[in-house]
């Protein structure tokens, strides 16, 4: 196993264990409280005071786990990454709006607690900070412009570059390649014959920027550090 794969596995295990451990802890919250009642009453009282916070973090880390799993795998590329992160940011914004007006359907564990207005205010501020942090950390990916022809070169696309326009016209009539496009745009653009037959399109698709190349180990580490 390469160092990169070891690092990804280590990061994934650490990340998932946080959410899963907290989920299990909250599921056993009442038995834990009963146990502490006979062992450490001060700790029990402190734990009871933090029940809503634990519920909130349990729900939030569950959502982080879902995103983290989506960001794993050899088929990940910058186009997919942008879609995943954009969707997550949209969900964070929606969560902030909903929880601010007392709607906890996106936080199933939190909805089972007696959440006070001060708690809601704290969580709204946290989600707002989280949204800003993600926008800052992943600005390069989130602001990346992806030409529609990269996703679907067979669609109705307006192109000002005459050379690319000519190659797109020729590509649209290539029935053999059209059938191979069914396997997905990533495999399509990485075919060996594309650079030879359609050099301008391939250069535009793969090198400005490198949509299908990314340093996964650095990206995963950055995602984990941000959410600590």
Which residue is it, tokens 């030409």? 147
* Tokens describing residue 96: 């902030």
**pLDDT at 159 (0 to 100):** 63
162-212 pLDDT, tens digit per residue, is 777 787 777 777 777 777 676 666 666 666 677 777 777 766 655 544 454
Phi, psi of 104 (to 5 degrees): -110, 20
pLDDT classification of 156: cutoffs 50, 70, 90: low
Flag whether pLDDT at 216 surpasses 60.
no
* Tokens describing residue 33: 């409280």
Which residue is it, tokens 């009642």? 37
Best CA proximity match to 153, nearest among 137, 138, 134, 170: 170
**pLDDT at 83 (0 to 100):** 87
What is the percent of the chain where pLDDT is above 90? 28
Flag whether pLDDT at 41 surpasses 50.
yes
**pLDDT at 124 (0 to 100):** 94
Any idea which of 74-88, 113-127, 173-187 has the lowest mean pLDDT? 173-187
Flag whether pLDDT at 1 surpasses 50.
no
Rounded Cα–Cα distance for residues 99 and 85 (Å): 21
* Tokens describing residue 153: 């070169």
- How far CA 151 is from CA of 28, 79, 85, 141, 213, in Å, comes to 46, 9, 18, 16, 15
**pLDDT at 7 (0 to 100):** 46
55-76 pLDDT, tens digit per residue, is 999 999 888 888 888 887 777 7
Which residue is it, tokens 């879609």? 83
Contact 216, 76 (CB under 8 A): yes
Q: What is the dihedral angle through the alpha carbons of 17, 23, 28, 32, rounded to the nearest 10 degrees? A: 60
Rounded Cα–Cα distance for residues 21 and 171 (Å): 52
**pLDDT at 67 (0 to 100):** 86
Q: What is the dihedral angle through the alpha carbons of 40, 43, 49, 50, rounded to the nearest 10 degrees? A: -130
pLDDT classification of 228: cutoffs 50, 70, 90: very low
Task: Tell me what percent of the chain is helix, strand and coil, each rounded to the nearest 5.
Answer: 75, 0, 25
pTM, 2 dp = 0.69
Say which residues have a Cβ less than 8 Å from residue 168's Cβ, sequence separation at least 6.
149, 153, 157, 159, 201
Best CA proximity match to 95, nearest among 127, 138, 63, 53: 127
Say which residues have a Cβ less than 8 Å from residue 188's Cβ, sequence separation at least 6.
177, 180, 181, 194
Cα 87 to the center of its chain, rounded Å: 7
**pLDDT at 218 (0 to 100):** 41
In this prediction, residues 125-146 reach a mean pLDDT of 88
DSSP state of 110: G
């Amino acid at each position: 196993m390469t160092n990169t794969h070891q690092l990804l596995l280590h990061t994934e295990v650490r990340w998932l264990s946080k959410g899963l451990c907290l989920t299990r802890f909250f599921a056993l919250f009442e038995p834990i409280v009963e146990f502490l009642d006979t062992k450490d009453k001060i700790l029990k009282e402190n734990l009871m005071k933090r029940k809503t916070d634990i519920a909130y973090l349990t729900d939030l880390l569950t959502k982080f786990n879902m995103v983290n799993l989506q960001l794993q795998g050899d088929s990940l590329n910058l186009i997919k990454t942008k879609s995943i992160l954009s969707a997550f940011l949209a969900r964070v914004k929606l969560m902030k709006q909903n929880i601010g007006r007392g709607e906890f359907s996106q936080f199933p564990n939190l909805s089972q607690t007696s959440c006070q207005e001060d708690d809601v205010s704290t969580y709204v501020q946290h989600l707002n900070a989280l949204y800003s942090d993600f926008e800052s950390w992943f600005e390069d990916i989130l602001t990346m412009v992806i030409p529609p022809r990269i996703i679907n070169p067979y669609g109705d696309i307006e192109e000002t570059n005459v050379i690319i326009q000519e190659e797109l016209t020729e590509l649209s009539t290539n029935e053999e390649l059209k059938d191979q496009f069914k396997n997905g745009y990533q495999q399509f653009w990485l075919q060996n014959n594309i650079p030879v037959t359609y050099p301008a399109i391939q250069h535009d698709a793969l090198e400005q920027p490198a949509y299908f190349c990314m340093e996964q180990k650095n990206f995963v580490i950055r995602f984990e550090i941000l959410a600590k």
